[in-house]
Amino acid sequence: MPMNKKFTLNDLLLYLYNETKMTDSVLIQKAIDLDWETEEEFEDLKSAVTYFDKLLETPSEKCVQNILMYSKATAFMQ
């Protein structure tokens, strides 16, 4: 990849999750360090990922109870 390449959000997301090749990782990190727009996009992406991770929901108590009741009711069939 050329040094002056603009990285896409997909490139930055892959980098964030350590899914890029070592050579690409070096170039992306350099771009983050040297280009304020890339750094801003990367920081925004990191914030969004953190926000979405916090949104992960757990099932309601009613849902858990329904699963347990179903499991109990069908246990004798096995």
Q: What is the DSSP string of 25-48?
A: HHHHHHHHHH-HHHHHHHHHHHHH
Residue 44 lies in a domain: yes
Higher confidence at residue 42 or residue 75?
Answer: 42
pLDDT of 1 above 50: no
Higher confidence at residue 70 or residue 1?
Answer: 70
Residue 42 lies in a domain: yes
Measured at the CA of 49, the angle between CA 48 and CA 52, to 5 degrees, comes to 85
Going by pLDDT thresholds of 50, 70 and 90, the confidence category of residue 5 is confident
Residue 3 lies in a domain: no
Q: Could you tell me the pTM of the whole model?
A: 0.64
Q: How far apart are the first and last CA of the chain?
A: 57
- Domain range enclosing 33: 9-77
pLDDT digits (tens, 9 = 90+) for 8-66: 999 999 999 999 999 999 999 999 999 999 999 999 999 998 888 777 777 889 998 99
